[in-house]
């Protein structure tokens, strides 16, 4: 029987001892359907330029306090090599929405990574025309991460001026049609969000049949208009994550950097509440401080090697093992 939106809202409203039971159940479901393996996907944050002005994000165009950087394709390739050398079987290339990197430049980069390394490639470069997605898929990109952020269309329109939830959903559908394994996700604790919104986030991702759901706390950033809003709590994030695991048994759920940022053991707690992925930061040290979507982001002083080692430690501390495969979706039946 499928959990309804109302059921999910009840689960996310769990209190006291009920929370422990919810986390344990999600952990059991994860173990039964996905086993003990945790996929380590190395993320390279290659540009912090962004044409958007999202109210929540430190990369927003109007954040004049941020020094901007762009990594050259050769430098990105070098980071990908380093990540693969450390053991990452997936390279995630993420940036702000930076038109400097045309589809052609990115396609060439994806091609070079796929040719030279035995890895899967995920792109997370935002809204693009369908033709760009097509080019990137043809170049060999396996996955695309484009978060819905919130399923509330009014809140979405406020948070992301100039864009709409309907537009984002259309893009998520295109990506699926083009054969990408698709990742979406949402922030927990956004201003104006309710438990019903969070339940709706999960049912929207289930409807879209996403292969990955990045669910993490909203963290207020003083360099943005939402700087004075309260952020998402660890407990609400874990409850949403656990409910997502119960609703989507085979989906990949990362223990996010944001959850590690709001609590030193956040990542380990997430791994015990349904999560099965960690994305160690492979961005060169000199750029990291400028990819602060939110303040206090953890791992800013770590080298890629140290980020990988702390991720492995989190996996072992949670009594799990590092996966050896690419971590393609188990629901993946495209091309
Ligand atoms: N620009 C691309 C896009 O929009 O898909 C990818 C990069 S974007 C910076 C990556 C993610 O960071 C967003 O999807 C959002 O969920 C997260 N993020 C940004 N600001 C945040 C904040 N203040 N708290 C928590 N997460 C945040």
Ligand 1 center from residue 52 Cα (angstroms): 11
Q: Give the mean pLDDT of 276-305.
A: 94
Q: Whose CA is nearest to atom 5 of ligand 1?
A: 126
Specify the pLDDT at position 335: 33
328 in a structural domain: no
Q: Give the mean pLDDT of 21-48.
A: 98
335 in a structural domain: no
The number of folded domains in the chain is: 1
| pLDDT tens digit sequence for 52-65 | 999 999 999 999 99
Domain that residue 202 falls in: 5-319
Tell me which residue of 277, 283, 276 sits closest to 305, measured CA to CA: 283
Q: Tell me the pLDDT band of 329, cut-offs 50, 70 and 90.
A: confident
| Residue 118 per-residue DSSP state | S
Phi, psi (deg, nearest 5) at residue 44: -110, 115
Closest atom of ligand 1 relative to the 224 alpha carbon: 23
189 in a structural domain: yes
76 in a structural domain: yes
306 CB under 6 A from ligand 1? no
325 in a structural domain: no
Specify the CATH number for the domain of residue 103.
3.20.20.70
Hey, which of 59, 128, 147, 229 would you mutate to test ligand 1's pocket, going by the most ligand atoms within 8 Å of its Cβ?
Answer: 147
227 in a structural domain: yes
Ligand 1 center from residue 270 Cα (angstroms): 19
Q: Is the pLDDT of residue 332 over 60?
A: no
| pLDDT tens digit sequence for 122-137 | 999 999 999 999 999 9
| pLDDT tens digit sequence for 82-115 | 999 999 999 999 999 999 999 999 999 999 999 9
SS3 content of the chain, % helix, strand, coil (to 5): 40, 15, 45
27 in a structural domain: yes
330 in a structural domain: no
How many Cα atoms sit within 13 Å of 94 on the Cβ side? 23
Ligand 1 center from residue 189 Cα (angstroms): 14
**What predicted TM-score, i.e. pTM, was given to this entire model?**
0.97
């Amino acid at each position: 029987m499928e959990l309804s939106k109302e059921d999910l809202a009840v689960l996310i409203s769990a209190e006291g001892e009920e929370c422990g039971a919810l986390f344990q159940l999600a952990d059991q479901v994860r173990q039964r359907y996905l086993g003990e393996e945790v996929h380590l996907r190395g993320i390279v944050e290659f540009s912090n330029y962004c044409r958007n002005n999202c109210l929540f994000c430190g990369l927003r165009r109007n954040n004049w306090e941020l020094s901007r950087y762009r990594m050259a394709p050769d430098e990105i390739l070098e980071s990908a090599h380093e990540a693969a050398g450390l053991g990452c079987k997936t390279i995630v290339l993420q940036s702000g929405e930076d038109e400097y990197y045309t589809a052609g430049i990115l396609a060439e980069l994806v091609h070079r990574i796929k040719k030279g390394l035995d890895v899967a490639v995920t792109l997370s470069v935002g809204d693009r025309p369908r033709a760009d997605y097509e080019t990137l898929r043809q170049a060999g990109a396996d996955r695309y991460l484009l978060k819905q952020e919130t399923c509330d269309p009014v809140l979405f329109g406020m948070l992301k001026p100039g864009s709409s939830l309907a537009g984002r959903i259309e893009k998520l559908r295109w990506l699926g049609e083009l054969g990408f394994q698709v990742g979406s996700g949402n922030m927990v604790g956004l201003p104006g969000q309710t438990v019903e919104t969070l339940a709706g986030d999960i049912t929207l991702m289930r409807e879209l049949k996403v292969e990955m759901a990045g669910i993490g706390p909203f963290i207020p950033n003083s360099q943005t208009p939402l700087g004075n809003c309260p952020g998402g709590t660890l407990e609400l994030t874990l409850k949403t994550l656990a409910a997502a695991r119960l609703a989507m048994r085979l989906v990949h759920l990362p223990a996010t950097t944001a959850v590690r940022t709001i609590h030193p053991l956040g990542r380990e707690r997430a791994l015990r509440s349904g999560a099965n992925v960690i994305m160690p930061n492979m961005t060169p040290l000199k750029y990291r401080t400028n990819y602060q979507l939110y303040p206090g982001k953890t791992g800013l002083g770590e080298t890629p090697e140290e980020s990988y080692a702390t991720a492995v430690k989190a996996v072992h501390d949670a009594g799990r093992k590092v996966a050896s495969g690419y971590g393609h979706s188990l629901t993946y039946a495209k091309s």
